[in-house]
Each structure stands twice: as structure tokens, then as C-alpha cells.
């Protein structure tokens, strides 16, 4: 039996924000994934190498999938005493860098500079 990587990648369309968002789930217990995202020139809005994407990495504490503690970009997510959800701060990464997806992690990648015609919504 072959060893298959347990990866799921989705690109849901958001009608309320510019750009695209990727959802990458790595269910493999030991393999870090390095993913490169490439587009045709007409799909980018004035693409420049200085553009940055937003990354949100959710991982279990100490890599333990049974942990009740979740980390966002290596910082523990905790709800405030009054039930307030903390600010969800992204990591900003150069658009030309590959996306690193650790074992047992969920990554949201927002690329606001990408313009894909099929994802456009026109209010009528």
C-alpha cells in the first residue's frame, strides 16, 4: 500500500471581499507541505513581487491533535473572560514565497491582489 499525503485544498469564492482565499488542510502526521501558487498574468491586479498575502495557521498545541488548545500563528487562542474572541492577526508573507503547511494544521491564505473573472460579483 502506498503512502498518500492527506491534504485538502479548497478555494471558496467570497463575494464580499477582493481577491481569493485558499483553505489548506494537512491531515498528515509527519509531512510539512510546501505549496506554490501561480497565476496567469491577466489574473493579477498589477502583480508585483512586493505584494504580500495573509496567512492564518491553526495548529494543535505541541502537535497533539487531541489537545484542547489551538494556536493561531504559534500564539495560543483564548477566549476572554466575557467570551470575547481575540483579534485574528495574520502573518504577512511575500506572495512569491511558497506556503508552508505543517502536519495536522489548517491554513487560510488570503490573496487580496488576485482578480479571477469567475469570482467577480456584480450587484445589479
Over residues 17-74, the pLDDT tens digits come to 778 899 999 999 899 999 988 776 655 544 556 789 999 999 999 989 999 899 999 9
Count of the separate structural domains present in the chain: 1
Does 65 map to a domain? yes
Does 2 map to a domain? no
Q: What is the pLDDT, as a whole number, of residue 90?
A: 97
Confidence of residue 1 (pLDDT cuts 50, 70, 90): very low
Confidence of residue 89 (pLDDT cuts 50, 70, 90): very high
Q: What is the pLDDT, as a whole number, of residue 122?
A: 56
Count how many Cα atoms sit within 13 Å of the Cα of residue 73 in the half-sphere of its side chain.
12
Q: What percent of the chain has pLDDT over 90?
A: 46
Does 1 map to a domain? no
Does 123 map to a domain? no
Containing structural domain, residue 52: 22-78+85-116
Confidence of residue 124 (pLDDT cuts 50, 70, 90): very low
Average pLDDT over residues 69-86: 90
Does 14 map to a domain? no
Amino acid at each position: 500500500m502506498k503512502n498518500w499525503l492527506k491534504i485538502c485544498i479548497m478555494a471558496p469564492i467570497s463575494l464580499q471581499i477582493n481577491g481569493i482565499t485558499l483553505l489548506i488542510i494537512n491531515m498528515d502526521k509527519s509531512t510539512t507541505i510546501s505549496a506554490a501558487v501561480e497565476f496567469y498574468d491577466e489574473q493579477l491586479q498589477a502583480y508585483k513581487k512586493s505584494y504580500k498575502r495573509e496567512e492564518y495557521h491553526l495548529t494543535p498545541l505541541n502537535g497533539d491533535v487531541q489537545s484542547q488548545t489551538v494556536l493561531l500563528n504559534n500564539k495560543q487562542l483564548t477566549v476572554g473572560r466575557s467570551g470575547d474572541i481575540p483579534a485574528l492577526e495574520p502573518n504577512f508573507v511575500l506572495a512569491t514565497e511558497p506556503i508552508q503547511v505543517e502536519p495536522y494544521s489548517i491554513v487560510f491564505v488570503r490573496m487580496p491582489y488576485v482578480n479571477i473573472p469567475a469570482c467577480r460579483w456584480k450587484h445589479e
